[in-house]
Amino acid sequence: MSRAAAEAASKPSYARITAVGVALLAALAALIWLEPRWNMRLQSAWFDTYQLIKPRELSLAPVTVVEIDEKSLARLGQWPWQRTVLAQLLRDIEREQPAAIGIDILMPEADRLSPEHLDLLKWARQRDPVLASHLEALPSNDTELARAIAAGPVVLGLAGTPEETAKEPLGPPVLVRDQAKKGAPATDTVTRMHSHKGALVNLDELDSAAAGHGIISAGRSDDVIRRVPLAVRINDRFVPSLAMEMLRVALHQPDVRLLVDGPSVSAVTVGDFFAPTEVDGELRLYYSRHDPSHYVSAIDVLDGKVDPDRFRQTLVLIGMNSLALADYQNTPLGSRVPGTEVLAQALENLLDQTWLARPSWAPALEIAVFVLLGSVLIWATPRWRPGNAAWLALGGIAVCVVSGIAAFLWKRWVFDAAAPALGLLILFSVLLVLTLAEAGRQRRRLERVVQAQREQAAYVSGELEAAKRIQTGFLPRADFLAGDKRIEIAVSMRPAREVGGDLYDFFPLDERRLFFLIGDVAGKGLSASMFMAVSKALYKSTTLRSPDATVSELMRAANDEVSRDNPEMFFVTAFAGVLDLDSGELGFCNAGHENPYLLDAQGAGFVQLADAAGPPLCTVEGFAYREGRKALRHGQLLCLVTDGVIDAQNQRGERYGRQRLQTLFGQLHNGQRTATGLVDAVRKDVETFAGGTEAPDDLTVLALRWRGPQ
């Protein structure tokens, strides 16, 4: 196969990955835009995270909550109290001239503790007419409360019901104005507002006395109250929330106005007060942490222990705060609070204008950012390395998250960063899988190209095989010393390629002395094998010319000889030694080679011969190598290896290493404490560790065992 064809086969195809990525990006963008239920839950949880990061800062208490708490119940008895007590509570508050008082308590039934409902009155009519006449002359508790309500700017609450009710809710006029039609009246077009079929209201006597009426329904107790309606629809009538009605009463305005845009609500206004809303007329609350200083106990008010300035020209809410009686609600801050506190938070949001806002253009911006970042991922993922593409994906997610938090801290805008971030994660995962699959297909194409090239170059293998036979023919065979009982030699050499750069040699200098050598040419393959043959021949010729020279002198002479004809600047690591076969005296010299191991004949002990070390041959001209000496004991083994043993790798890329080799020495049994057994054990352990992985370097093991004098 030609080189152009090979390059064409190796070039990856991005068209299919891009097409799938674009289709998935469009599908995810459509899902984010349509906002399915799961996405809304994810979005709400993310918006809660904003408030957890930075809750609303507490204001100067524009709202005071009078709570019917455990302390009040302990003094005045269990709930419900006589409504004369509530009447007295209202009079004490009204005396300080508050701007408006909101009662977050429904009273749809008559007071059972009122004199006309007591069993004592029935008994008195039968037994004591005089007592009965006195009891009948007492005013009704509900009448007393109605008088207290009528005496001040009191707003009563009502609750929406899913069923129709007989009573129609009272409330101020709510005027609906269509912004698109320049303020023209509009009622039937408002379809996105929350609606109820009926309402649970208070006694007629109480409702007719109140200055205003507002709905207190905020949601189920198991929901997280993130938004509250500023107005709702009950049948064909619009009713403001208790918070908006309190503002209307406080501002002395005759009506509440809804600004709508077709079916959607855009704002609720009272006089000059303007509160933008969501499309369904709800206000998105920004919660603060619970502040006990905003609350006073009802019993403290009745006892006159509360500073009058707490009520003067402020908004006052009266509600339950007892564990057994209060309607507790979940908030984004992870706490449960009474429903009265939710109303107080809504009032503080309105008065301080600290509500959260989700601009109408927010969904479009979120989609645009998602599409932009997704397009960058579609382009980069198949072209970049997986690690770099992953960092890009994480960077895109970080852009969404950090931008959302920054917008919240800057303008109290809430942008959805969770859905775009999840979409980017899904998109990147699919693109990564497709990219890896394409890489697999590309690898298979390259394998076919390589196979074709191998078939075309088969004759080269034949030539290299011939070179291998010639190279191994240069090396001595261990069995030519089999007749000498003083020494046992075994050797194994496995080139990383057809031919290699490792070398070894051993031959007798005389009847008593044995010369041996192991070396490793820098590199592998044909060039290394050629230099190996030259180096071995030069070293042997140097040794034979000077058989009485020391090992260090031989190493210096070999360094000069090999360096002389080395135009490619190869270098060789070598370990050479001369062993006296009668005495076991070993002289050795190391030129940058792996230190050999001297193993005991019995037991697991071993040492490394680390003396007489110097640089590799052909690196330092005229270096004065030194000789090391060691006396061998009967049966001791000398093991010499090349880098191919230490640098062998398994399929996970782990190195064989010296520690594993030394562990193997400690695990040898008696049958392996021979030269042949040691070489076989090292070779098999390396092969088992590699597991068929291509060898990174030539592997040679040479072992000598001195048996003692003959």
Whether residue 140 has pLDDT greater than 90: no
Name the DSSP class of 697.
S
Question: What is the average per-residue pLDDT within 186-194?
Answer: 71
Residues 6+ apart with CB under 8 A from 415: 358, 362, 365, 366, 403, 404, 407, 408
> In what helix (H) or strand (E) does residue 235 lie, and over which residues does it extend?
none
Type of residue found at 218 = A
Cα(268)–Cα(576) distance, rounded to whole angstroms?
98
Peptide bond into 80 cis (omega under 30): yes
Which pLDDT does position 529 carry in this prediction? 62
Please tell me which of 53-62, 179-188, 639-648 the model is most confident about, judged by mean pLDDT: 639-648
Residues 6+ apart with CB under 8 A from 105: 157, 318, 319, 320
- Report residue 636 CA to chain centroid gap: 58
Output the CA torsion sign for 130, 132, 135, 140: negative
Which two tokens mark 391? 């960092």
Crossing angle for the helix pair 458-474 and 526-545, to the nearest 10 degrees: 20
Please tell me which of 240-254, 541-555, 696-710 the model is most confident about, judged by mean pLDDT: 240-254
Residue 219 pLDDT grade (very low, low, confident, very high; cuts 50, 70, 90): low
Conformational region of residue 300, where left means phi above 0, alpha means psi within -120 to 50, and beta covers everything else: alpha
pTM of this structure: 0.60
Whether residue 536 has pLDDT greater than 50: yes
Question: What is the average per-residue pLDDT within 141-148?
Answer: 89
Which pLDDT does position 222 carry in this prediction? 56
Which pLDDT does position 458 carry in this prediction? 54
> In what helix (H) or strand (E) does residue 348 lie, and over which residues does it extend?
helix 339-352
Q: What angle do CA 658, 663, 665 make, to 5 degrees?
A: 100
Backbone Cα Rg of the chain: 48
Cα(53)–Cα(68) distance, rounded to whole angstroms?
32
Name residue 316's beta-bridge partners.
64, 101
**Cβ atoms of 536 and 505 closer than 8 Å:** yes
Q: In this predicted structure, which of 16-30, 268-282, 394-408, 517-531 has the lowest mean pLDDT?
A: 517-531
Give the chain's mean pLDDT.
84
Which pLDDT does position 142 carry in this prediction? 86
Among the listed residues 672, 326, 107, the one whose alpha carbon sits nearest the alpha carbon of residue 701: 672
Which is higher by pLDDT, 147 or 326? 147
Residue extents of the structural domains in the chain: 3-50+359-453, 63-352, 471-706
Cα(327)–Cα(288) distance, rounded to whole angstroms?
19
Which two tokens mark 211? 């200055």
Q: In this predicted structure, which of 360-374, 405-419, 540-554 has the lowest mean pLDDT?
A: 540-554
Which is higher by pLDDT, 402 or 164? 402
> In what helix (H) or strand (E) does residue 292 lie, and over which residues does it extend?
none
**Cβ atoms of 234 and 195 closer than 8 Å:** yes
Q: What angle do CA 672, 674, 676 make, to 5 degrees?
A: 90
Among the listed residues 138, 134, 92, 96, the one whose alpha carbon sits nearest the alpha carbon of residue 113: 138
Residue 120 pLDDT grade (very low, low, confident, very high; cuts 50, 70, 90): very low
Backbone phi, then psi, for 489, in 5-degree steps?
-125, 135
SS (H, E, C) 453-464: HHHHCHHHHHHH
Please list the alpha-helical segments (H only) found in 412-525.
Answer: 418-456, 458-474
Type of residue found at 415 = F
Whether residue 113 has pLDDT greater than 90: no
Residues 6+ apart with CB under 8 A from 522: 501, 528, 570, 571, 572, 573, 616
Number of H helices, E strands in the chain: 21, 30
Half-sphere exposure of 670 (CA within 13 A, CB side): 1
**Cβ atoms of 108 and 47 closer than 8 Å:** no
pLDDT digits (tens, 9 = 90+) for 440-486: 888 888 888 777 777 676 555 555 555 555 555 567 776 777 778 88
Which pLDDT does position 318 carry in this prediction? 93
Buried b (16+ CB within 10 A) or exposed e, 130-166: eebeebeeeebbbbbbbebbeebbbbbbbbbeeeebe
Which pLDDT does position 9 carry in this prediction? 47
From the CB of residue 298, how many other CB atoms can be counted at a distance below 10 Å?
A: 27
Which two tokens mark 649? 């790798």
Cα(516)–Cα(554) distance, rounded to whole angstroms?
12
Question: What is the average per-residue pLDDT within 505-511?
Answer: 86
Cα(662)–Cα(647) distance, rounded to whole angstroms?
14
**Cβ atoms of 437 and 386 closer than 8 Å:** no
**256-261 and 264-270 strand pairing:** antiparallel
Which pLDDT does position 464 carry in this prediction? 54
Which two tokens mark 433? 């899988």
For 21-90, the DSSP string reads: HHHHHHHHHHHHHH--HHHHHHHHHHHHHHHHHSPBPP-S-SEEEEEE-HHHHHHH-SSSPPHHHHHHHH
Which is higher by pLDDT, 191 or 66? 66
Instruction: Report the percent of the chain where pLDDT is more than 90.
Output: 31
Q: What share of the chain is helix, strand, coil (3-state, %, to 5)?
A: 45, 20, 35
E strands, 367-499, are 487-494
Q: In this predicted structure, which of 215-229, 399-413, 604-618, 670-684 has the lowest mean pLDDT?
A: 215-229
Which two tokens mark 289? 């942490």
Cα(407)–Cα(399) distance, rounded to whole angstroms?
12
**Cβ atoms of 584 and 631 closer than 8 Å:** yes
Place of tokens 């036979």: 469
> In what helix (H) or strand (E) does residue 706 lie, and over which residues does it extend?
strand 699-706
User: Which CATH class for the 471-706 domain?
Assistant: alpha beta
Which pLDDT does position 126 carry in this prediction? 55
Which is higher by pLDDT, 261 or 597? 597
Which pLDDT does position 671 carry in this prediction? 78
For 529-540, the DSSP string reads: HHHHHHHHHHHH
Residue 125 pLDDT grade (very low, low, confident, very high; cuts 50, 70, 90): low
Cα(248)–Cα(600) distance, rounded to whole angstroms?
102
Among the listed residues 249, 259, 304, the one whose alpha carbon sits nearest the alpha carbon of residue 88: 304
Which pLDDT does position 1 carry in this prediction? 47
Backbone phi, then psi, for 15, in 5-degree steps?
-65, -45
